[in-house]
Amino acid sequence: MIASHFPFALENENANPAPGSQNSAFLEEKAFRARTVLVFGTITDVLAAETVRRLLALDAESAAPIDMIVSSPGGHLESGDAIHDVVRFIDAPVNMIGTGWVGSAATHLYLSVPRERRVCLPQTRFLIHQPSGGAGGRASDMALQAKEIIKARERIAAVIARQTGQPLERVREDIEQDLWMPAVDAVAYGLVSRIIERRSELAQP
């Protein structure tokens, strides 16, 4: 029974469902059977936990590829880190599919797979930039936060350089300010391997 491998289904099947919840559960199960994970909206610890549960459940179900569709402006860097690392941790290969916009921490998790498994739809825009912080409080705390932001910036720059093939120095310069890229430019930069319009194109090299 699929529910045994479906921890993100409704927990109490006997409870009176809220309006629309039955349809939501149906769509969740269809997405599970299609081995598709959606990452939409701001990346938070809640979204990261939900995404990681889906990835682990699908990985336990089968080693077949998982399609992850990403449309997010970014969000909490460490929550993006969690998704990034779990994508690399599981055995099932993940196809990253960008749509809408993929920015900041969302670009970071998008880069968790090899370039050949990173595709996007035609209207997708990508954003890379350095981590931001709202340092406040005592001077010593602000200095510590500034050091941590610099460390995070170097780490993110290293990931972008490694996954795109761009020189690290160029990436450091590029992320000093917001760098927006339409799909064609993202392919040229190395963020994306190719632009697709149909799901059937995922299987093509």
pLDDT in tens, 102-135: 999 999 999 999 999 999 999 999 999 987 654 4
pLDDT tens track for 25-63: 777 778 888 899 999 999 999 999 999 999 999 999 999
pTM above 0.85, yes or no: no
Look at residues 82, 84, 32 and name the one whose alpha carbon lies nearest to residue 58.
32
Q: Is 136 left (phi over 0), alpha (psi -120 to 50) or beta?
A: beta
Query: Bridge partners of 70?
Result: 39, 98
Dist. CA 73–CA 70, nearest whole Å:
10
Spell out the residues 6+ positions from residue 61 whose beta carbon is closer than 8 angstroms to its own: 5
Dist. CA 122–CA 119, nearest whole Å:
10
Which are the catalytic amino acids?
104, 129
